[in-house]
């Protein structure tokens, strides 16, 4: 099974994803590792990515997901997956890929990004992330204002694992 933890930058995808993977004794993967150096530089300079920029990244992720499914790997994947069209590329099998949406207010997430250090995604791009966000239907939706351990427990309860 693959659990795709999605949301805007600063919603806690990597933090929650790692904690969830650890609690399940599963592998963790971060979609940020699939970005090209060019995309990372754009974001680092405060330039939002467009759909054309994201397509090679999405296709690389799709390929990794296909391989994980073929190998029957249990993976928690942290990935923004902001648009429905992106999720259509990534969610290849609704039985084996579960979507978890980390939902939070702009103000809360902006505050988190302001405190975050050492990440290529600057706080200034948060508005573009919220503008691009198409909230998923059918996903497990979790409020990011809860403590991390509570969020992980809610996800596990919702998935029955």
User: Is residue 74 very low, low, confident or very high in pLDDT (cuts 50, 70, 90)?
Assistant: very high
Can you list the domains of the chain with their CATH numbers?
2-159 (3.40.50.300)
The mean pLDDT value of the chain amounts to 91
The pLDDT, as a whole number, for residue 110 is 86
Per residue in 132-159, pLDDT tens? 899 999 899 999 999 999 999 999 999 9
Structure tokens at 84: 């429905």
Q: What is the dihedral of CA 45, 48, 52, 53, to 10 degrees?
A: 40
Q: Higher pLDDT residue, 46 or 115?
A: 46
Per residue in 31-52, pLDDT tens? 999 999 999 888 888 788 889 9
Decide: pTM greater than 0.85: yes
The pLDDT, as a whole number, for residue 45 is 82
Widest CA span in the chain: 41
Structure tokens at 66: 């296909």
> How far is the CA of 156 from the CAs of 16, 23, 69, 141, 151, in angstroms?
12, 9, 20, 12, 9
- The Cβ of residue 143 has, within 10 Å, a number of other Cβ atoms equal to 13
């Amino acid at each position: 099974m693959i659990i795709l933890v999605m949301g805007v930058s600063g919603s806690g995808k990597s933090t929650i994803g790692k904690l969830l993977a650890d609690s399940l004794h599963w592998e963790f993967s971060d979609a940020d590792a699939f970005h090209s150096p060019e995309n990372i530089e754009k974001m680092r300079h405060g330039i939002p990515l467009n759909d054309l920029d994201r397509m090679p990244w999405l296709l690389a992720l799709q390929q990794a997901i296909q391989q994980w499914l073929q190998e029957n790997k249990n993976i928690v994947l942290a990935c923004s997956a902001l648009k429905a069209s992106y999720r259509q590329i990534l969610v290849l099998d609704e039985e084996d890929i579960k979507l978890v949406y980390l939902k939070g207010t702009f103000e809360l997430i902006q505050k988190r990004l302001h405190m975050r250090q050492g990440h290529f995604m600057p706080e200034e791009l948060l508005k573009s992330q919220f503008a691009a966000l198409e909230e998923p239907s059918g996903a497990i939706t979790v409020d990011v204002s809860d403590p991390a351990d509570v969020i992980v427990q809610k996800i596990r309860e919702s998935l029955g694992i």
